[in-house]
A and B are shown apart, each in its own frame.
Chain A
Amino acid sequence: MSSDLLGLFLLLVVFSAALAVIVSGYRDDDPARILRGTVRRSLSFLGAVVAIGVVSLGVSWFLS
C-alpha cells in the first residue's frame, strides 16, 4: 500500500514535470523563463493533484 502510494507519487512528479516543460515551452521562448516557468507550473500542478487526492481520501474515510 505505502510502496504503491510512493510509486504513484513519483509518477505524478514525472508527469507534472513533463506537463510543465511543454506548457512553459509553448508560453515562452527564452530558456531562463522556460526553466523558471517549468519549476513553478510543475509545483502548482503537483500541489493541486495532491490536494485533491488528500481531500478525496479524507472524504472516503469520513463516509466509510
Chain B
Amino acid sequence: MEPLLPPEETRQRIGAAVGLSILLPGLGHLLSWRRGWGLLWFLLCQGALFLGLELAGATQLDYGTWFSFADIRAVFLLLPEVANLLGLQVAAQLYVSVESGGVDPTRVPWRDLGHLLSGASGVLAGFAAAHAAGAVLAKDRPRPGRRVHPGVAAVATLLLPGAGHWLTGRRFKALLLGGTVLGLFLFGMLLGDFADFDRQRHPYYWAGQMFGGGSFWLVALASAGARFTAVLRFMDAGLLFTTSAGLFNVVVALDAYHRAQHDWLAAGPREASS
C-alpha cells in the first residue's frame, strides 16, 4: 500500500515549519498558530541549553568548532546542540569554557548533567520540528475525533522508543521496534560496564547515543559516575551498539511520523456541521 502524502501546498508549509523550527525551536509552530506550543518548545530547548552550559561551566564548547568564511567566524558547530541553531550561536558568543581558564573539566561538579541537558536541547529542537510539521498538517487538513497527529507520534518515540507506534494502534511494531532499540542499548551498556555514555571519551558516539531520547538519558544520568577500570573484551562493540540504538530510534521516530501521517490523511476530511 502506497503511503498517502499531503498536498503540495501543505508540504511546502511543512518544509517551512521544519526550517523555522531548526532556526529557532517554537518558531515553526507559529505557522499553524500554535503559540502556546511554540512558547513551550522555545523555553524547553533554550532552558535546557543555557542551564546545561551553566552547570557544566560551558565545557561543551570545547567539543565544538567554528565554521569560518574568509577568516570570519560564521557558524559554531557542536553535535547535537547545533539543531538548536540560533540558541547555540548566541551561547557560543556569550560563554567561554572554564577549561580555557585552567579549570580541570572533570572537577566541575554538575558537568555530566550539564552536558546531558545541552545535548538534549539539540535533540529536542529536532523533534520540535517534527511536532511543528504535524501541527501544520493538523491545521491544514483537520480530521474528526481524537486522532494522533504525526508530530505527537514522533515526540512520543523520543520519550520512549515504540511509544509513537503504540499511540497509533500499532502494538506489534511498538513492542518489536521499541524492544529492539532499548534492548540493543542496554546490551551495549552492559558490554561497556555502563561507562560508555561519556562525551569526554567519545564525543561523536555520544551525539548518536543522545538521539535515544528520554529513556537513554535516564540511564546516562544513573550511570554518570561510572568509569572504566580495565580494558573490557567487547567494550568497542558496546559503544557501537549504544550509538546504533540511538540512531535507530531516529528511524523508528520517522516511521511513527509517516504511519501517523498516513492514518491522518486516510481518515478523510472533517465534515462541516450542519
Contacts and interface: CB of A to CB of B under 8 A. Distances in A.
Given A18-B241, A29-B173, 15 more contacts: A7-B233, A7-B234, A14-B184, A15-B184, A15-B241, A18-B180, A21-B177, A21-B180, A22-B181, A22-B251, A25-B252, A26-B251, A29-B170, A31-B173, A34-B176
Contacts of A7: 233-234
A14 B180 contact: no
Q: A-side binding surface: helix, strand, loop or mixed?
A: helix
B244 A18 contact: yes
Interface in A17-57: 18-19, 21-22, 25-26, 29, 31, 34
Looking at chain B, what size class is its interface with the partner chain?
20 to 34
Contact of A21 (B176, B187, B240): B176
Contacts of B99: none
Contact of B234 (A11, A18, A25, A26): A11
Contacts of B248: 18-19, 22
B5 interface: no
Nearest to A4: B233
Given A7-B233, A11-B234, A18-B244, A25 B173 contact: yes
A15 B237 CA distance: 9
B135 to A, nearest CB: 24
Contacts of B181: 22
A31 B234 contact: no
A8 B234 CA distance: 8
A48 to B, nearest CB: 17
Interface of B: 1, 170, 172-173, 176-177, 180-181, 183-184, 187, 233-234, 237, 240-241, 244-245, 248, 251-252, 254-255, 259
Contacts, number: 51
Contacts of B177: 21-22, 25
Main secondary structure of the interface of B (DSSP, over half): helix
25 contacts: A4-B233, A7-B233, A8-B234, A11-B234, A11-B237, A14-B184, A15-B184, A15-B237, A15-B240, A15-B244, A18-B180, A18-B241, A18-B244, A18-B245, A19-B244, A21-B177, A22-B177, A22-B251, A22-B252, A25-B177, A25-B255, A26-B252, A29-B1, A29-B259, A34-B172
B170 A18 contact: no
Interface of A: 4, 7-8, 11, 14-15, 18-19, 21-22, 25-26, 29, 31, 34
Nearest to B254: A26
A18 B240 CA distance: 12
Contacts of B251: 22, 26
Nearest to A25: B177
Contacts of B176: 21, 25, 34
A31 B172 contact: yes
B250 to A, nearest CB: 10
Contacts of A29: 1, 170, 173, 259
A4 B233 CA distance: 8
